[in-house]
Amino acid sequence: MELETGAARGQTEMQAAVGADSGLAPTRQLLPSGHPLVDGRTATSPLIQTTLGKPVPHTPVWFMRQAGRSLPEYRKLRAGHTMLETCFDTDLTVEITMQPVRRHNVDAAIFFSDIVVPMKAIGVDVEIEPGVGPVIATPFRSASDLDRLPDLDPGNVASIAAAVTALATELGHTPLIGFAGAPFTVASYLVEGRPSRDHVHTKALMLSDPTTWNRLLDRIATICAAFLRMQILAGASAVQLFDSWAGALSPQDYARNVLPHSKKVFDAIADLNVPTIHFGVGTGELLADMEKAGSSVMGIDFRVPLNVAATRFTRPLPLQGNLDPAVLFADSSSVDAAVLRILDDARGLPGHIFNLGHGVPPDTDPDVLTRVVELVHSESARRFAQSGYTATQN
Ligand code: 1CP
Over residues 230-289, the pLDDT tens digits come to 999 999 999 999 999 999 999 999 999 999 999 999 999 999 999 999 999 999 999 999
Ligand 1 — pocket residues by CB below 6 A? 64-69, 83, 110, 112, 114-115, 128, 130, 133-134, 179, 185, 195, 242, 244, 359
Question: Whole-angstrom Cα distance, residue 230 to residue 158?
Answer: 9
Q: How many residues does the chain have?
A: 394
What's the confidence (pLDDT) of residue 81? Answer: 97
- Sorted by sequence, the CB contacts under 8 Å of residue 304 that are 6+ apart come out as 284, 287, 312, 322
Whole-prediction pTM? 0.92
CATH, domain 28-40+61-320, list 3.40.50.300, 3.30.365.10, 3.20.20.80, 3.20.20.210 = 3.20.20.210
User: What average pLDDT does this structure show over 135-154?
Assistant: 96
Give me the helix-helix angle, 259-269 and 183-192, nearest 10°: 120
pLDDT band at 27; cut points 50, 70, 90? confident
**Residue 11 pLDDT more than 60?**
no
pLDDT tens digits for 178-229?
A: 999 999 999 999 999 999 999 999 999 999 999 999 999 999 999 999 999 9
Question: Whole-angstrom Cα distance, residue 350 to residue 56?
Answer: 11
Which is nearest to 209 in space by CA: 143, 138, 139?
143
Is-contact 394 55, C-beta < 8 A?
A: yes
User: What average pLDDT does this structure show over 26-36?
Assistant: 90
What's the confidence (pLDDT) of residue 94? Answer: 98
**Residue 389 pLDDT more than 90?**
no
Q: Out of 114, 184, 186, give the residue to mutate to test ligand 1, the one with the largest number of ligand atoms within 8 Å of its CB.
A: 114
**Residue 79 pLDDT more than 80?**
yes
What's the confidence (pLDDT) of residue 5? Answer: 39
Q: Work out which ligand 1 atom sits closest to the CA atom of 68.
A: 8
What's the confidence (pLDDT) of residue 388? Answer: 61
Question: Whole-angstrom Cα distance, residue 179 to residue 116?
Answer: 11
Q: Out of 61, 64, 65, give the residue to mutate to test ligand 1, the one with the largest number of ligand atoms within 8 Å of its CB.
A: 65
Tell me the DSSP string of 222-238. Answer: HHHHHHHHHHHHHT-SE
List the beta bridge partners of residue 240: 179, 277
Which is nearest to 84 in space by CA: 164, 157, 178, 167?
157
**Residue 322: cis peptide before it, omega within 30 degrees of 0:** yes
Give the burial class of 33: count Cβ atoms within 10 A of its Cβ; 0-12 exposed, 13-18 middle, 19 or more buried. Answer: exposed
Domain ranges of the chain: 28-40+61-320
Q: Which amino acid is at 23?
A: G
Q: Work out which ligand 1 atom sits closest to the CA atom of 74.
A: 3
Q: Work out which ligand 1 atom sits closest to the CA atom of 195.
A: 48
What's the confidence (pLDDT) of residue 21? Answer: 41
Catalytic residue, candidates 78, 219, 229, 312 = 78
